Amino acid sequence: MFRHTNTNKKPLCLGLRGGIVVLLLGLFSSALHAETLRLGVLSFRPLAETVVRWQPLADYLGQQLNGRNVELIAANYEELESKIQAGALDFVLTNPAHYVMHRNQSGFSGPLATLLVEEHGYLLSQFGGVVLTLAEYRHINSLNDVPGRRIAAVSRGSLGGYQAQAMALLEEGAPLPNQADLLFTGMPHDRVIDALLTGEVEVGFVRSGVLESLLADGRLAPGQLRVLGSAQGQRYPLALSTELYPEWPLLVLPHVDAELSRLVAAALLLFEPDDQLAAAMGIRGFAVPADYSTVEALARSLRLPPFDQPPSFTWRDVWDKHRYWLVALLVCTGLLLLSTVLLLFYYRRALVAGTQTRQLNRALGESEALLRQITETIREVVWVRSPEQMLYINPAYEQVWGRTTESLYANPDSFIDSAHPDDRERIRQALMDDGVGKQPFDEVYRIVRPNGEVRWLHARSYPVVDDQGRVLRNAGTAVDISDMKGIEEELARSNADLEQFAYVVSHDLRQPLRMVNSYVQMLQRRLEGQLDGDTRQMMQFAIDGAARMDQMLLALLDYSRVGRKGQPIAELESQAVQDEALHFLQPLLEEAGAKLEIEGEWPALMASRDEMTRLLQNLIGNALKYRLAERPLVVQLRGERRGEHWRCCIVDNGIGIPPEQIPRLFQIFQRLHSREQYEGNGIGLALCRRIVERHGGSIWVESAGEGQGSCFCFELPLQGPDGLRAGVCCAVGG
Ligand code: ADP
């Protein structure tokens, strides 16, 4: 804008203007043609009035374009629009909103020029809106106080009379006025002021300049009205509450030649403000094209055409406008997703864990069923008990004990009570050793069934302890070994019968044998001198045979006497046994010139004294007998304690034994050598085996072969045979 001053420069300006246009026309006359130019003007008043107002402009342009015919076409909005669409216009003078719409819809270029008007002595190409209230309304002080008040405005389509103010409210962050609060007065703007002054409304929207006009006319007293939200920083001479918006533009349609456009633009800009023509049109000429972006921004914000349709947003627009919200939304969505994934993960893990637990439980159930099936079908008794109570006992208990499992659950100590009176104390002691169930239990004993039947049992139990060694439970088994015991007893009886038989046979046979021997010897003496040599030799054979048979019967007698006629098993010193045996063998030792080496431990043990002496005597005697003539004999006696056992070995450096012959050495009457080579009857080692086995031990021989010497060993339990420890020894072997 600039201040208009009435000067005397007109002739000079006109001259300059005319000269330049003529010069341009001369230069570009080839571009001009005789076609009529069509200048459309938006008419919001009666068409004739508009034609009268703007005809001078058409005439002026025709004159400036070298007499070219310029037709003025005044049209209301719809007509003007249809003519634009039909290409029936070349230039258009219209309002800013109309221009902005075409710029966005039809690709119109910028306007050629913007109208210049005079307001109260100022030349202005921009205008704005004013928000007014009565000066006395102290409760309305800013634009933010406007919403909710009754408001008078010119019309919804008026840029200076409504839209500019609405835009200002939005920019202040205030909401748009409600429809119910609005009173549209229509033109002229004075009506708005009237509504305000009559108190019909509290706020009025008018175009800039209206206030000053009313003040100048004296229709308003100074200070009667107050301007709200005066636009700070705007270099504008009139009262203003809003952004500034440019005046009407003169547009050129896209089909118009660029050169012609330039000439028209030049002609427009050369229009003098104080020109008669300008005055006739109520304007002061044209200014260089103003910036219409404020109009466009307003149209966008208020959703005016062409922005009344929902805008097509690109992602970029969304990002630019709402980036902070978007980031926050993305973060929230991410967190939500993350927590969902985590939740799913843990849910799945729990599901898997649940499935695994179910599988484990099923496997456990199956294994338990299998275990139960086994324990409930076997004939052996299986039980588990805690120090206080019986936890489990299988049905075999009822078969073996002849009592119900319920009775045992009710009274776990009936386990001891049911033992045979002769065994009961021993069982109680075994169980009570170091407290109930703290030691493994392994006993053979008898029980008495309720019907009085006696059964033999082999019972074992083991403590189940925790980390601190506390006994949690005892698990045990019991096997009914009565049948085996029966067989054992039968065997023992049969052995006893056999021994008796052997004894009787060997004892009783000796008598007739001795008779045979005596009579043959008597015959030999009587017939002395009458017998020839052969007959005498035959008689001698008979006497020798009888003597050998007697020896064999004696040996058999000895064999059958083991365990029957000897001393009972009792504690003895092995050292004493060794001394006794060596005492008997002294003459033989001296005869053989043997070197005797005795080493190791010779402890006390439970054994039959004369049988042990016999055992050592036989083995040492064999070592002396089966020596090599060419090698000085060395005999070692080695004793060694091995846990609960004592091992004794008699080692010689004699003739040795072929390994393949070893298995038959301990059988009765088995010999590896002829009587001519070595005196003997083959019963010594069989006797040794019988003695050792009766004591619950074992005997064996090792030899590397002929000429390699032999090592005869036996091992005996220090506490005597099992039966002896169980107190039933005598019943079995005695
Ligand atoms: P006997 O000595 O009366 O023949 P034994 O039963 O004592 O009967 O021995 C059986 C056989 O074992 C003997 O005939 C002998 O061949 C062999 N034998 C026993 N002791 C030894 C030994 N120390 N060295 C080599 N052979 C032996």
- With bands split at pLDDT 50, 70 and 90, how would you rate the model's confidence at 728? very low
| pLDDT, position 723 | 57
| pLDDT, position 652 | 97
Question: Does pLDDT of 725 surpass 70?
Answer: no
DSSP 277-325: HHHHHTS--EESPP--HHHHHHHHHTT-TTTTSPP---HHHHHHHHHHH
Max avg pLDDT among 99-113, 491-505, 621-635 = 621-635
> Which residues make Cβ contacts (< 8 Å) with residue 224, sequence separation at least 6?
134, 135, 197
| pLDDT, position 691 | 94
The answer to whether 159 touches 95, Cβ cutoff 8 Å, is yes
Burial class (CB in 10 A: 0-12, 13-18, 19+), 132: buried
The answer to whether 623 touches 652, Cβ cutoff 8 Å, is yes
Report the pLDDT averaged over residues 100-116.
84
The answer to whether 240 touches 122, Cβ cutoff 8 Å, is no
DSSP 9-27: -HHHHHHHHHHHHHHHHHH
Report the pLDDT averaged over residues 1-10.
38
Ligand 1 atom closest to Cα of residue 687: 6
Question: Does pLDDT of 412 surpass 70?
Answer: yes
Give just the sign of the alpha carbon dihedral 409, 413, 416, 419: negative
- At 215-232, the pLDDT tens digits run 998 989 999 999 998 765
- At 49-79, the pLDDT tens digits run 889 889 988 988 898 888 889 999 999 888 9
Q: What is the 3-state secondary structure (H, E, C) of 588-614?
A: HHHHHCCEEEEEECCCEEEEEHHHHHH
- Nearest CA-CA partner of 705 in 675, 672, 674: 672
N-term to C-term CA, the chain: 148
Q: Whose CA is nearest to atom 2 of ligand 1?
A: 680
* Whether the CB of 585 sits within 6 Å of ligand 1: no
Q: Which residue has the higher pLDDT, 528 or 400?
A: 400
Report the pLDDT averaged over residues 340-364.
90
Distance between Cα 672 and ligand 1 center (Å) = 7
Ligand 1 atom closest to Cα of residue 681: 3
Supply the DSSP symbol for 664.
G
| pLDDT, position 724 | 56
Instruction: Please state, rounded to an integer, the average pLDDT across all residues of the chain.
Output: 86
| pLDDT, position 24 | 45
| pLDDT, position 20 | 47
User: How many whole angstroms separate alpha carbon 664 and alpha carbon 491?
Assistant: 23
* Whether the CB of 685 sits within 6 Å of ligand 1: yes
| pLDDT, position 3 | 42
The answer to whether 203 touches 152, Cβ cutoff 8 Å, is yes
| pLDDT, position 27 | 44
Report the pLDDT averaged over residues 580-592.
94
User: How many whole angstroms separate alpha carbon 119 and alpha carbon 208?
Assistant: 9
Question: Does pLDDT of 8 surpass 60?
Answer: no
* Whether the CB of 653 sits within 6 Å of ligand 1: no
- With bands split at pLDDT 50, 70 and 90, how would you rate the model's confidence at 712? very high
Tokens at 164, concatenated: 């500019």
To test the pocket of ligand 1, the residue of 559, 617, 622 to mutate (highest count of ligand atoms within 8 Å of its CB) is: 622
| pLDDT, position 433 | 57
To test the pocket of ligand 1, the residue of 685, 701, 703, 706 to mutate (highest count of ligand atoms within 8 Å of its CB) is: 685
User: How many whole angstroms separate alpha carbon 434 and alpha carbon 683?
Assistant: 48
To test the pocket of ligand 1, the residue of 665, 673, 687 to mutate (highest count of ligand atoms within 8 Å of its CB) is: 665
> Which residues make Cβ contacts (< 8 Å) with residue 165, sequence separation at least 6?
129, 130, 131, 153, 205, 241, 242
Q: Which residue has the higher pLDDT, 695 or 25?
A: 695
Residue 385, amino acid = R
To test the pocket of ligand 1, the residue of 558, 619, 626 to mutate (highest count of ligand atoms within 8 Å of its CB) is: 626
Q: String of b and e for 13-31 (b: at least 16 CB within 10 Å)?
A: beeebeeebeebbeeeeee
Question: Does pLDDT of 234 surpass 80?
Answer: no
The answer to whether 535 touches 520, Cβ cutoff 8 Å, is no
Question: Does pLDDT of 233 surpass 80?
Answer: no
| pLDDT, position 455 | 94
- Nearest CA-CA partner of 562 in 680, 656, 695, 661: 695
Strand 37-42 versus strand 70-75 pairing type:
parallel
Q: What percent of the chain has pLDDT over 90?
A: 40
- At 495-551, the pLDDT tens digits run 778 877 877 877 788 888 888 999 989 988 888 888 888 888 898 899 988 988 888
DSSP 509-546: HHHHHHHHHHHHHHHHHHTTTTS-HHHHHHHHHHHHHH
User: How many whole angstroms separate alpha carbon 68 and alpha carbon 359?
Assistant: 103
Question: Does pLDDT of 410 surpass 80?
Answer: yes
Question: Does pLDDT of 644 surpass 60?
Answer: yes
* Whether the CB of 651 sits within 6 Å of ligand 1: no
Q: What percent of the chain has pLDDT over 70?
A: 91
Q: String of b and e for 606-632 (b: at least 16 CB within 10 Å)?
A: bbbbebbbbbbbbbbbbbbbbbeeeee
Beta strands in 64-193 (DSSP E): 70-75, 91-93, 113-115, 117-119, 122-124, 126-127, 129-134, 151-153, 182-184
* Whether the CB of 56 sits within 6 Å of ligand 1: no
| pLDDT, position 32 | 45
Supply the DSSP symbol for 733.
H
Question: Does pLDDT of 480 surpass 70?
Answer: yes
User: How many whole angstroms separate alpha carbon 163 and alpha carbon 129?
Assistant: 8
DSSP 407-446: HHHH-TTHHHHTB-HHHHHHHHHHHHTTSTT-S-EEEEEE
Q: Which residue has the higher pLDDT, 647 or 489?
A: 647
Q: Whose CA is nearest to atom 7 of ligand 1?
A: 684
The answer to whether 25 touches 62, Cβ cutoff 8 Å, is no
Question: Does pLDDT of 302 surpass 90?
Answer: no
The answer to whether 577 touches 619, Cβ cutoff 8 Å, is no
Question: Does pLDDT of 353 surpass 80?
Answer: yes
Q: What is the 3-state secondary structure (H, E, C) of 601-662?
A: CCCEEEEEHHHHHHHHHHHHHHHHHCCCCCCCCEEEEEEEEECCEEEEEEEECCCCCCHHHH
Sheet holding 710-717, edge to edge: 595-600, 634-642, 645-652, 710-717, 698-702
Ligand 1 atom closest to Cα of residue 670: 10
Minimum mean pLDDT range among 10-24, 179-193, 455-469: 10-24
Report the pLDDT averaged over residues 659-675.
89
- At 421-454, the pLDDT tens digits run 999 998 888 877 544 567 788 889 999 999 999 9
Question: Does pLDDT of 408 surpass 50?
Answer: yes
* Whether the CB of 243 sits within 6 Å of ligand 1: no
Minimum mean pLDDT range among 32-36, 147-151, 699-703: 32-36
Tokens at 370, concatenated: 């299998």
Distance between Cα 513 and ligand 1 center (Å) = 27
* Whether the CB of 681 sits within 6 Å of ligand 1: yes
Q: Whose CA is nearest to atom 23 of ligand 1?
A: 623
| pLDDT, position 231 | 64
- At 143-173, the pLDDT tens digits run 889 999 999 998 888 888 999 999 999 888 8
Question: Does pLDDT of 313 surpass 70?
Answer: no
